Amino acid sequence: MSKGSESGIREGRSGRQSASTFPNRFIPLYYQLENILRSKIEGGEVPQNHKLPTEQELSREYKISRATVRQALAALVSEGLLYRKQGKGTFVTEKAGQTKSVKLTGFTEDLLEGHQAEVKVMEKGKVPAPERVAILLRVPAGEEVTRFKRLRSVDGGPLSYILSYLTTEIGEQISERDLQSHTMLHLLEEKLGISLGTIRHSVESAKANIEVASLLGISVFEPVLYMETAVYSAEGQPVEVVDSYFRADRYRYTVELIRSQQLRKDRAKRR
């Protein structure tokens, strides 16, 4: 790994990086570029079997070193989103196209059918974007964003505590009253006219802090299911970042994975 990719702050051969492209100087550049390219691929902005620009072209476009570009591409190849053809270049795999299609819905539409659900919008305000949120929204760290705090109850008991982050341009168009009767995804699509694409979930166990514990009616440090969600437009642009905390005794998250026979054949051909 080059010193430039380790520190994340070294200038590329073409000059200084754009602050809007790489908003956080403390995050390695290769990792930020990897996330940018991944969102474009998963959002459909770069189609399947499409040839990517060369390392040199990407280096010029993003104003970073070729070594940094090479490291980002290598990570996406390892992940199965890209593949290389010797002497021809780097291409997008058919992984996205072989993924099982999932209906894009809001939480209440998808999970709460047949239950009595209630949403309490506790707060809408403008806050400096935390470092992690800034990276996902592709804004400079500390830039002002809109944050919504909501508590969702099901069948009379608390189920989840949700924090949604949006750019102020989008957030100011959504009111607390809107969220009392509609999901955020519904508002983004129907009220704002944003065509949504990829939604990425990251799920892990966490310990409830004082705020989460008091709202969910559990003890401090009791295990909760934490879910980070990043919502992208059909063009691959970040739209919303969500932090959700679920009571572990009231919620289960299930994922069904399907091994594609076509994908297996495609990989065999490239060997």
> Are 154 and 209 members of one domain?
yes
pTM: 0.59
Answer whether residue 260 is part of any domain.
Answer: no
> Are 118 and 241 members of one domain?
yes
> Are 139 and 73 members of one domain?
no
> Are 38 and 69 members of one domain?
yes
Q: Domain containing 88 — which CATH number?
A: 1.10.10.10
> How many structural domains is the chain composed of?
2
* 106 — pLDDT class (breaks 50, 70, 90): very low
Domain final residue, candidates 76, 98, 120 = 98
> Are 128 and 218 members of one domain?
yes
Two tokens, residue 139: 């804004």
Domain final residue, candidates 34, 66, 98 = 98
Range of the domain at 65: 3-98
Average pLDDT, the chain: 80
186-233 confidence digits (pLDDT tens): 899 999 999 888 888 888 999 999 999 999 999 999 999 999 999 988
Judged against a pLDDT cut of 90, whether residue 47 lies above it is answered with no
Answer whether residue 191 is part of any domain.
Answer: yes
> Are 190 and 242 members of one domain?
yes
Q: Please report the pLDDT score of residue 81 as a whole number.
A: 85
Q: Domain containing 152 — which CATH number?
A: 3.40.1410.10
Answer whether residue 223 is part of any domain.
Answer: yes
> Are 131 and 49 members of one domain?
no
Residue 198's nearest CA partner among 113, 111, 266, 97 is 97
> Are 158 and 77 members of one domain?
no
> Are 131 and 200 members of one domain?
yes
Domain final residue, candidates 63, 98, 133 = 98
> Are 47 and 115 members of one domain?
no
Judged against a pLDDT cut of 90, whether residue 2 lies above it is answered with no
Answer whether residue 161 is part of any domain.
Answer: yes
Cα 105 from Cα 51, distance rounded (Å): 32
> Are 120 and 179 members of one domain?
yes
133-175 confidence digits (pLDDT tens): 999 999 998 999 999 999 999 888 899 999 999 999 999 999 9
64-100 confidence digits (pLDDT tens): 999 999 988 988 887 778 999 988 999 998 764 444 3
> Are 94 and 180 members of one domain?
no
Answer whether residue 255 is part of any domain.
Answer: no
Give yes or no for a contact between 251 and 257, defined as CB atoms under 8 angstroms apart: no
